[in-house]
Structures are given as C-alpha cells and as structure tokens.
Amino acid sequence: MDEPNELWSLKGQQALVSGASRGIGLAITETLAERGAEVWMMARDEDRLTVAAESLRRRGHRVQAVAGDVANPDDRARALSALGNRLDILVNNAGFNVRKPALEYRSEEVAAILQTNLHAAFELARAAWPRLKASGRASIVNVSSVAGLTHLRTGVPYAMSKAALNQMTRNLAVEWAGDGIRVNAVAPWYIDTPLAAQVLTNPDFKSAVLARTPMRRIGKPEEVAATVAFLCLPAAGYLTGQVIAVDGGFTINGF
C-alpha cells in the first residue's frame, strides 16, 4: 500500500496546463507545482506567460513556459514535443466566451468558441495519448463550467461547448481506463478571475449571482485549482469519469 505522503504528492510527475498565464489556469499551475509536479504552462500571450512563469520560479516552483494557441494544431504539437516522451497530467483549461443572445451570434464566433473550448481539448487529449499511456498513472482534467450543467446567461455556444466537454470526459474515461488514464472534469460557477470581473463589476448582476449561491460568495481560483490537483493525485486513483461542480452549491439550489 502507498504511504500517505505518496498518496498526496505529485512529485516526479510532469503536467501540461493550457490557458496557464492567468486566472484559474495560473492557480492550477501553482497548485500542481506545490504538490511536486513539473508543470509546462501553455498560453497565447507570450509576454504574460513569461512573467507568470518567472514569478513561479522565483518561489521555487518547477515550471516551463511554451507559448502557443491550443486551438492551433502546430502549437499543440510543439508543446507536446517540448515535453518529451511522457506526460502524467493534462489539464485542458483554455477557453473563452462571447456573451450575446442566440440570434445575434455570427457563425465564425460560434465556430471559434467550439474550436477553443471543445475541439482543441479533444485533439490535445488525442495527441497526448501516447505520452499519457506511457505514464501508466495519467490523469486528464477538463475545466468545464456549470453552464454545461444548467442554464446560465453566458450564451448558447459556450454552454454547448461545456456540455459536450462534460460528455467527452465521460466517454474518454471509459475508453481509456484500460490505458491507465483517468479523465475527470471540474465545473466552476463564478470565480474571482479577470474574465469574470467583466460582468461581476455590475453590482446588480453580482447580487443576482450571490442570491443564487448558497455560500453567498464568489469562488476563488485556488479552490478550483485544489479540486483539479486532488483529481490528479494518487489518492484519487479510483475516481474517473466525474464532473465535479465547484460552485458553492449553485447547481443544487432549488426553491
């Protein structure tokens, strides 16, 4: 049987986190590194990514930066090539949204949302499969949203992408279990990030969010990151195919 410290450690493991330069992705990177993993950070904004990586290194964390757009096949290939032949943890975190009523979307906006939030995660997971299988103890965590579980005001294409990401999580968990790859997802509600701040600065909107949240507060990036890290730990070794809402009780809040 594993010693307790081994169950709760990621020492010796190698991780790749997309959308890692800020917000939830940056918090995930730091939390995985604190548990002992070497983390490869991927994001489009090279300047912001470099600053974030250097800040983590100054605190003693083992992180590497690889700039690129996860929606670009060449950038995905380049990131995986930098890792070598083994990957223990893949966190599909990159995503974005365009908020508007369904009838106002342009087709290219819908395509871009689905490409980044869903298709890129699927293709990165498929491309990473040989390295994940070589690990023998690999974990994929997809960062979804409660928008994939229930109606929100976030917009239909975003919700579509996250609902499909949840089902992708379940299907891959079953299909790849025999390869030693666990696949789970986290589904956050409103979290205190730069992206969420765009709408939470509206006091009426924020009040409505808090009214629907039993814990009566906005979530913290590190709370999402802690759940992601747990799913990657040996302690969670029998947990796969799950979509865990990190939402302060929002999704179970009836009347």
Provide the annotated active-site residues.
Answer: 158
Structure tokens at 179: 């390869």
78 Cβ contact list (under 8 Å, min separation 6): 66, 68
Give the C-alpha separation, 52 to 49, whole Å: 5
How many CB atoms lie under 10 A from the CB of residue 205? 13
Contact 152, 163 (CB under 8 A): no
Nearest to 147 by CA among 157, 162, 132: 162
Query: Could you tell me which of 2, 175, 19, 8 has the C-alpha nearest to residue 93?
Result: 19
Task: Return the number of other C-beta atoms located less than 10 Å from residue 17's C-beta.
Answer: 32
Residue 238's CB: how many other CB atoms inside 10 A? 6
Contact, 164 vs 122, CB < 8 A? no
b/e code 99-129 from CB counts within 10 Å (16+ = b)? eeeeeebeeeebeebbbbbbbbbebbbebbb
**Amino acid code (one letter) for 230:** F
